[in-house]
């Protein structure tokens, strides 16, 4: 196979391995069928219902549900309202976002709530309301979460509310009062971490669809899948690592993917005591996205009084700004928290609290010299620290 042919094949593979691209979801067929049945039952019974979907990051929760958005089941029967709660300014802003999506006006929080509830009492097409990262709406007395999950009991509301988050026990922990009424109890659907077999099947399926299955040795896919499954079963990281392996091979003269390429990238991503044996001098370096997280944290530390608390939410906001300014793909909060957890695993930062969310406090444990040693691009840190506009 010629180098030029391999190069064009690599391009197709990278496109198909993007976490946002999918034509099918191996390993999640039963979950998708469950979602379909849930929506069909609502339509058949003419009864408003709710569901809570849980599972660790990268287990297919959002993409499985979104795979139904373009189906006739949804487009013919529902008005879809999708809100990623990690991307709105504040928890209270969710009402304005819902009203905006329903095209029923805007205004203050109280005005938006009133408008939404009036709309729910009027004659309308069934509403499929999906609130992703719903734990970001958590507040002191959980008034926002309670109100949203109580909307289905409004007479003639004609709606399905689906909340998505990582925590398995969110409804029990934050919304215990929902148990007092059968009509308020959301149906539960859990997405477990992907197994090594499922990860390998997904990667192989993506490569086959790109017509480049022969480029990636089977034993390399098995190694990659087993390592990631043992850590957290996150398909997004599996796809990221696979893309990085292909990019690494593309830089080689012979353009061949070998087992050592996978070992080098895995050590680069995880770099823990369980890292695989590898003599790559760059194995301790941070991946670009993790470098950007560290840069965002250092910028905040250099511009914040010592008494002020730095939270995951603040670091995430600066991280997003850095990515947008540098034309780098912006990750969502769930992926950002996963990257932050990897940094914590390496001992670079400490995240306080059992459940990581926007309000979790972040501490930097390494000094600047130690961080310099794990950066591929030291100039990146210098540029970020000198750009105070990133904090606006």
The predicted-structure confidence for 258-267, as pLDDT tens digits, reads as follows: 888 888 888 7
Task: Give the mean pLDDT of 220-227.
Answer: 91
Predicted local distance difference test score (pLDDT) of residue 99: 94
Q: How far is CA 233 from CA 274, 293, 389, in A?
A: 16, 22, 37
d(CA 355, CA 250): 39
Helix 235-250 vs helix 218-231: crossing angle, to nearest 10 = 140
For the ranges 76-90, 166-180, 217-231, 302-316, which has the lowest average pLDDT?
166-180
Question: Which tokens belong to 56?
Answer: 């660790």
Stronger pLDDT, 284 or 328, i.e. the higher one: 328
Q: How far is CA 300 from CA 297, 324, 359, 387, in A?
A: 5, 17, 15, 11
Instruction: Kindly report whether the global pTM for this prediction surpasses the value 0.75.
Output: no
Q: What is the mean pLDDT of the chain?
A: 83
Contact between 165 and 54 (Cβ < 8 Å): yes
User: Model confidence at 270, in pLDDT bands (50, 70, 90)?
Assistant: low
Predicted local distance difference test score (pLDDT) of residue 353: 67
For the ranges 58-67, 80-89, 135-144, 266-275, which has the lowest average pLDDT?
266-275
Predicted local distance difference test score (pLDDT) of residue 276: 45
> 231-247: per-residue pLDDT in tens?
778 888 888 888 888 88
Most confident of 56-60, 220-224, 345-349: 220-224
Contact between 365 and 348 (Cβ < 8 Å): yes
Q: How far is CA 113 from CA 117, 147, 148, 153, in A?
A: 6, 10, 10, 15
Predicted local distance difference test score (pLDDT) of residue 21: 55
Question: Residue 40 above 90 pLDDT?
Answer: yes
d(CA 275, CA 283): 9
Q: Half-sphere exposure (CA, 13 Å, Cβ side) for 155?
A: 0
Residue 321 CB neighbours (<10 A)? 19
Question: Which tokens belong to 150?
Answer: 């109580």
Predicted local distance difference test score (pLDDT) of residue 183: 65
Q: Which residues contact 267 (CB under 8 A, 6 or more apart)?
A: 275, 276, 278, 280, 283, 284
> 179-221: per-residue pLDDT in tens?
766 567 889 999 999 999 999 999 998 888 888 888 888 999 9
Domains and their CATH numbers in the chain: 3-16+195-271 (1.10.8), 28-190 (3.40.50.300), 288-390 (1.10.10.10)
Q: Do β-strands 349-351 and 362-364 pair in parallel, antiparallel, or remain unpaired?
A: antiparallel
Predicted local distance difference test score (pLDDT) of residue 254: 79
The edge-to-edge listing of strands for the beta sheet with 78-84 is 78-84, 126-132, 159-164, 49-54, 187-190
Predicted local distance difference test score (pLDDT) of residue 343: 84
Question: Residue 224 above 70 pLDDT?
Answer: yes
């Amino acid at each position: 196979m010629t180098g030029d042919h391999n190069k064009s094949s690599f391009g197709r593979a990278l496109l198909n391995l993007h976490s946002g691209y999918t034509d099918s979801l191996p390993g999640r067929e039963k979950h998708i069928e469950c979602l379909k049945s849930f929506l069909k039952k609502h339509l058949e019974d003419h009864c408003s219902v709710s569901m809570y979907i849980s599972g660790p990051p990268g287990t297919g929760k959002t993409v499985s549900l979104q795979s139904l958005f373009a189906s006739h089941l949804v487009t013919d029967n529902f008005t879809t309202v999708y809100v990623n709660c990690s991307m709105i300014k504040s928890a209270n802003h969710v009402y304005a976002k819902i009203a905006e999506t329903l095209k029923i006006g805007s205004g203050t929080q109280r005005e938006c709530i009133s408008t939404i509830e009036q709309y729910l009492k009027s004659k309308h097409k069934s509403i499929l309301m999906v609130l992703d990262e719903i734990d970001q709406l958590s507040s002191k007395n959980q008034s926002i979460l309670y109100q949203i999950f109580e909307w289905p009991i409004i007479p003639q509301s004609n709606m399905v509310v689906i909340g998505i988050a990582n925590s398995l026990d969110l409804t029990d922990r934050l919304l215990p009062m929902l148990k007092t009424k059968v009509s308020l109890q959301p149906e539960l659907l859990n997405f477990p971490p992907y197994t090594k077999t499922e990860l390998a099947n997904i990667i192989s399926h993506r490569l086959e669809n790109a017509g480049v299955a022969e480029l990636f040795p089977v034993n390399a896919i098995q190694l990659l899948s087993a390592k990631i499954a043992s850590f957290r079963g996150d398909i997004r990281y599996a796809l990221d690592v696979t893309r990085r392996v292909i990019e690494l091979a593309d830089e080689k003269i012979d353009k061949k993917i070998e087992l050592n390429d996978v070992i080098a990238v895995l050590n680069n991503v995880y770099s823990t005591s369980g890292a695989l044996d590898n003599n790559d001098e760059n194995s301790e370096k941070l991946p670009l996205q993790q470098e950007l997280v560290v840069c965002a944290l250092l910028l905040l530390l250099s511009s914040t009084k010592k008494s002020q608390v730095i939270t995951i939410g603040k670091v995430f906001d600066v991280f997003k700004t850095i990515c947008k300014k540098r034309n780098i793909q912006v990750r969502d909060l769930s992926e950002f928290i996963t990257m932050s957890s990897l940094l914590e695993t390496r001992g670079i930062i400490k995240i306080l609290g059992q459940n990581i969310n926007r309000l979790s406090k972040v501490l930097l444990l390494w000094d600047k010299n130690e961080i310099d040693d794990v950066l591929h691009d030291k100039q990146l840190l210098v540029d970020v620290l000198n750009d105070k506009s990133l904090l606006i």
